[in-house]
């Protein structure tokens, strides 16, 4: 009886994981992100873009919930590698979703070994060629502050943000400066 229970539990866990990852990747990366400059709406396309951004945010929130339900060890084994795979994607939307997912997972995991990998993913995107990704690094770091040690903040995060304050993009500078104020 015990072996059957363990087998069924493993199959169900893998099925849920496979289904969620398929759902996550299929539905949340289908459209472009919204335009960051304030403009008048151009119709339904803008509404669609805003909805897709909301869906991506919901996906990151759902990853956080999965990590809370299944625990840090499971998240480190199953979720973090999947999220990490998106860091090197050619599609900047995947990289944006990686940042949101890392921030949410860090909130769920707290200061455990897996959260260090999340910070590495986020800091690795600080030199991304797309400004939208770079300024979202600052936003992700702000969300991650409660799960980071003070030593890590001063040795790794603060220097990265100070470098980002020198970025040629005004938005990157703004959000890096804002994040530095949050750390201080």
Q: What are the pLDDT digits (tens) for 92-150? A: 888 998 999 999 999 888 877 767 889 999 999 999 999 999 999 999 999 999 988 88
Question: What does the pLDDT read at residue 18?
Answer: 56
To the nearest whole percent, how much of the chain has pLDDT over 90?
Answer: 38
Please write the tens of the pLDDT for every residue from 71-97. Answer: 888 888 888 888 888 888 998 888 998
Q: What is the pTM of this model?
A: 0.72
Bigger pLDDT: 155 or 41? Answer: 155
* CB atoms inside a 10 Å sphere around CB 85: 11
């Amino acid at each position: 009886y015990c072996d059957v229970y363990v087998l069924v539990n493993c199959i169900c866990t893998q099925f849920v994981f496979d289904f969620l990852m398929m759902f996550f990747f299929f539905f949340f990366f289908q459209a472009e992100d919204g335009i960051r400059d304030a403009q008048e709406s151009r119709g339904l396309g803008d509404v669609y873009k805003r909805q897709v951004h909301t869906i991506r945010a919901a996906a990151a929130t759902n990853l956080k919930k999965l990590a809370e339900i299944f625990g840090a060890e499971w998240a480190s084994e199953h979720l973090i590698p999947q999220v990490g795979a998106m860091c090197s994607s050619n599609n900047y939307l995947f990289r944006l979703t990686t940042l949101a997912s890392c921030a949410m997972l860090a909130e769920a995991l707290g200061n455990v070994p897996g959260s260090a990998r999340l910070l590495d993913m986020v800091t690795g995107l600080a030199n991304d060629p797309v400004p939208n990704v770079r300024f979202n690094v600052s936003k992700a770091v702000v969300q991650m502050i409660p799960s980071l040690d003070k030593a890590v903040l001063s040795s790794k995060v603060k220097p990265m943000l100070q470098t980002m304050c020198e970025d040629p993009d005004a938005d990157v500078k703004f959000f890096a400066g804002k994040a530095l104020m949050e750390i201080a």
